[in-house]
Amino acid sequence: MASSSSYNSPCAACKFLRRKCLPGCIFAPYFPPEEPQKFANVHKIFGASNVTKLLNELLPHQREDAVNSLAYEAEARVRDPVYGCVGAISFLQRQVQRLQKELDSANADLLRYACNDMPPPSLSVPPQMPQRSFIARFGNESASGGGFYRPSPTTTTTTYSFPYSLPWTDSEDINDRGGEGGGNL
């Protein structure tokens, strides 16, 4: 990025601070004159002096990323002075957790309806048919990384009843494994 002083227009920082934009201005490559609000937010939250110190301590190839991060945080702080970008991150995490719960619920419904002989949830199985039960675990998604394939400590256990014998249970119930150490499904 070329210095803004080469075309006689001060960078947004120098314009905001009402000073002459010199050819070696540290702000010029990162705060173009077309984006005055970007520097105004950064200055309001972090202060021009602190930003100057930060940029001088960084290597030139790291400065653009640092300015972009400062600008993002400053804009988030202007919008939400208490939480800043942490509020946006928390909102997105809650949305991911909610969507993961919906996905787990849909997977449970899919598993339930995948069995051809299984009646819909509103109907009951006739009492004369023997039933086998199958335990499936569907996790409460959390930041700890638990999930459908990796049960978390908050995993709930759901029992599904089938009107026929499952091939992997043979003649014994899946819950009566004794000392085989088979664990839960």
pTM: predicted TM-score of the whole model, two decimal places: 0.51
Taking only the tens place, the pLDDT of each residue in 38-95 is: 999 999 999 999 999 999 999 999 999 999 999 999 999 999 999 988 988 999 999 9
Give the largest Cα separation in the chain, rounded. Answer: 92
Structural contact between residues 131 and 165, judged by C-beta atoms closer than 8 angstroms: no
* pLDDT tens-digit series, residues 105-163: 999 888 888 865 555 566 555 555 444 444 444 444 444 444 444 444 554 544 545 45
CA distance 142 to 146: 6
Torsion angle of C-alpha atoms 151, 156, 159, 160, degrees rounded to 10? -70
Helix (H) or strand (E) holding 72: helix 60-79
